[in-house]
Amino acid sequence: MPTISIYHKDFEQLVGREVTIEDIETWLSLVKGELKDHTPATGEIRVELQDSNRPDLWGIEGIARQIRMALSDAMPSSYAFFSSRARPKRRVMVSAGMEQVRPFLAAACASGYAVTADGLTQLIQAQEKLADIFGRKRSTISIGLYRLEAIQFPVTYGLVQPHAASFVPLGFEEKLTLQDILSVHPKGMEYGHILEGQESLPLLWDKEGQVLSFPPIINSRDVGQVQVGDSQLLIEVTGTDLRMVILALNIFAVNLADRGATIDPVEVLYPYATEFGKTIRMPFDFSSPQRVPLHAIESALGLPLGTDVIKQALTAYGYEVKASRHQLSVRLPPYRNDLLHAVDVAEDVAISRGYESFAPEMPVQFTVGSLSPLEETSDLIRDYMVGCGFQEMFSNILMAREDLVDRMKLTDPNEGHVVEVDNVMSQHYSCLRSWIIPSLLQIESASNRAFYPHRLFEVGEVAIPDLSQELGSQTLVRLGALVANPAANFSEVHTYLDLLLYYFVRPYTLEPMQHHSFMPGRVGKILSQERTLGFIGELHPEVLEAWQISMPVAVFELDVGELTREG
């Protein structure tokens, strides 16, 4: 989740008092934030925010707001512009057809606050983080900021042909058509895929026909570049999810209001129906009161706090609360939209009161601990192998196809089936191992200088492709054992296998088999009670050559599940 920069002085101004870095570190628990870095020289503090459902906290204003409320223990700021009844004088008209492309838009104006350098940094940071993470790289929401003076209302949000409109985008000196922007502008190349397959493209223009921006790609250089000192702004959000679009606008509106701006609402007129009607006055408070039974909170927290305490805690956390004896009616502030269930309210109560105020209590109900039968068998086998002088190894199980198949001489189409990754990052880690022996050979190959003899084993998981299984593969636990020394041979590993199966009371026979990884005539299937337990053999010199191993190697591999008692 996002890591953002906040600045100490700016933070003090927003909180309204002097604060130390230790204060900030303590308060960050209120916002699920973690202090990552602090540079006293510049006052920069890097903070990581954990909660992916609280984009209001992904900026200094939101963090400061949450702390301010906790400090004053008071009702949150009311942000009167949400409730004013006057019809806004500025309007944005949404054209028909937008519902097929990028249906929603929210906008508001801010005035009376001359943007400071710190303020501008935070505006840009919030714009980036919200569009990138909350808006999933601009696909669900994107945000534009404009100099209000240069714009003549009403503004139109409509569709145009890719070649029919042109304007000077940010970062360029000359006019480009929308088509050109998509093919040459860095942002067009980065985000153009969002509009893929659209015959006409979204555009925002004013009464004079002046282009504001080409959402969600790029703003106009002329009106869409806010600078320090600007005191009249237009904020606009477009996207595919109306609630997310409005929430992002609300967050910008309260952030600017916290810095002293007056928010002037904008009326957005849709030609089609939306969840909140065809005409929406933005910013728009869509939160509705939720009824939460008192016991839901008390039983989740394990403490009979009572409605008064809970009401106080929630109020200090930004909620609007009405309480009766057994019931609470809670309403989130308009910059939040993360109340899915009563448990969300319970957590906010706990955070507001501080986790340290809850006395830990040991769960007392009696339970019986145990290992799975598979794990118990694995442990018995591991003990046995260690007793026989084998060094246990532990390998990564994501491997290269080359190691599992090619180097093992299993290139015949009927052999060498492995579970493969589709979105490969590196060929070295593109398949799940289907047997243990390649892992042990990888070690042998890297350890020719290690003191001999080498006796290695691993008990570990493998994935066997099997289309008859629900998941297309089966996860098995296998024992792989390897001996390497100048005289290593079938008989040596057979000794260990024979004794192991004796102790597990598994009478067995070896049946010659064909396996290209092994020397012909020196490999066999391990059979017991008509089931195949595994195989044993001397590795083929070609396999050893492929691994650049210059010692004879003999191995066996056993299915641990087959040796496990039915649970």
Of 225-254, binders to another protein (CB under 8 A) are 243
Contact positions with another protein (CB under 8 A) in 404-423: 419-423
* Residue (198 or 475) nearer to another protein, CB: 475
Q: Tell me how far, at minimum, the Cβ of 466 lies from another protein, in Å.
A: 10
* Residue (268 or 456) nearer to another protein, CB: 456
Q: Tell me how far, at minimum, the Cβ of 191 lies from another protein, in Å.
A: 16
Closest by CA to 230, choosing from 110, 81, 88, is 110
By the rule CB under 8 A, 443 interacts with another protein: yes
The binder of another protein chosen from 324, 396, 532, 548 (CB under 8 A): 396
How far apart are the C-alpha atoms of 58 and 80, rounded to whole Å? Answer: 23
By the rule CB under 8 A, 343 interacts with another protein: yes
By the rule CB under 8 A, 554 interacts with another protein: no
The binder of another protein chosen from 300, 305, 501, 519 (CB under 8 A): 300
Q: Tell me how far, at minimum, the Cβ of 366 lies from another protein, in Å.
A: 7
Phi, psi of 61 (to 5 degrees): -65, -40
How far apart are the C-alpha atoms of 141 and 441, rounded to whole Å? Answer: 51
The binder of another protein chosen from 253, 313, 330, 342 (CB under 8 A): 342
By the rule CB under 8 A, 90 interacts with another protein: no
By the rule CB under 8 A, 208 interacts with another protein: no
How far apart are the C-alpha atoms of 456 and 469, rounded to whole Å? Answer: 32
Instruction: Tell me if 13 sits within 8 A of 57, measured CB to CB.
Output: no
Residue with tokens 């973690």: 34
* Residue (293 or 512) nearer to another protein, CB: 293
By the rule CB under 8 A, 3 interacts with another protein: no
The binder of another protein chosen from 6, 14, 159, 385 (CB under 8 A): 385
Contact positions with another protein (CB under 8 A) in 466-485: 467, 470-475
* Residue (289 or 389) nearer to another protein, CB: 389
Positive or negative, the CA dihedral 94, 86, 143, 31 is negative
By the rule CB under 8 A, 556 interacts with another protein: no
How many residues of this chain bind another protein (CB under 8 A)?
A: 95
By the rule CB under 8 A, 136 interacts with another protein: yes
Closest by CA to 55, choosing from 307, 237, 268, 267, is 237
x/- mask, another protein, residues 347-366, rule CB under 8 A, reads x--xx---xx-xxxxxxxxx
How far apart are the C-alpha atoms of 306 and 349, rounded to whole Å? Answer: 12
* Residue (29 or 329) nearer to another protein, CB: 29
Contact positions with another protein (CB under 8 A) in 53-82: 53
* Residue (30 or 257) nearer to another protein, CB: 30
Closest by CA to 535, choosing from 552, 557, 516, is 557
Question: How open is the CA angle 346-349-350, to the nearest 5 degrees?
Answer: 90
The binder of another protein chosen from 112, 186, 302, 304 (CB under 8 A): 302
Helices (H), 101-241: 117-129, 178-184, 186-191
How far apart are the C-alpha atoms of 459 and 376, rounded to whole Å? Answer: 12
* Residue (93 or 133) nearer to another protein, CB: 133
Contact positions with another protein (CB under 8 A) in 27-46: 29-30, 32
Positive or negative, the CA dihedral 558, 560, 564, 567 is negative
How far apart are the C-alpha atoms of 435 and 558, rounded to whole Å? Answer: 10
* Residue (86 or 340) nearer to another protein, CB: 340
How far apart are the C-alpha atoms of 37 and 501, rounded to whole Å? Answer: 58
Local structure of 218: helix, strand or coil: strand
